[in-house]
Amino acid sequence: MSVGSAKYIEVFADVGCPFTHVGLLRFVESREERARQDVRLRVRSWPLEIVNGEPMSGSFIAEEVAEICEQVSGYFDGFDGTAFPSSSLGAMALASVAGSVDVAVGESVSLELRDLLFEHNTDVSDPEVLEAVAKRWSVPFDTADSELHRQIVLEEHREGVARGVTGSPHFFTSSGDFFCPALAVGRDESGHLRVTTDPDGFERFLEACFA
Q: How far is residue 131 CA from its own chain's centroid?
A: 19
Domain ranges of the chain: 2-209
Cα–Cα distance for residue pair 76/118, rounded to 1 Å:
5
pTM, full prediction = 0.93
pLDDT at 1: 57
pLDDT-derived band at 138, boundaries 50, 70, 90? very high
pLDDT at 6: 60
Whether the pLDDT of residue 3 is over 70: the answer is no
CATH topology of domain 2-209: Glutaredoxin (3.40.30)
Whether the pLDDT of residue 170 is over 90: the answer is yes
> Residue 153's CB: how many other CB atoms inside 10 A?
26
pLDDT tens per residue, range 79-120? 999 999 999 999 999 999 999 999 999 999 999 999 999 999
pLDDT at 189: 75
CA-to-CA dists, residue 2 to 6, 42, 76, 174, 183, angstroms: 6, 10, 31, 9, 26
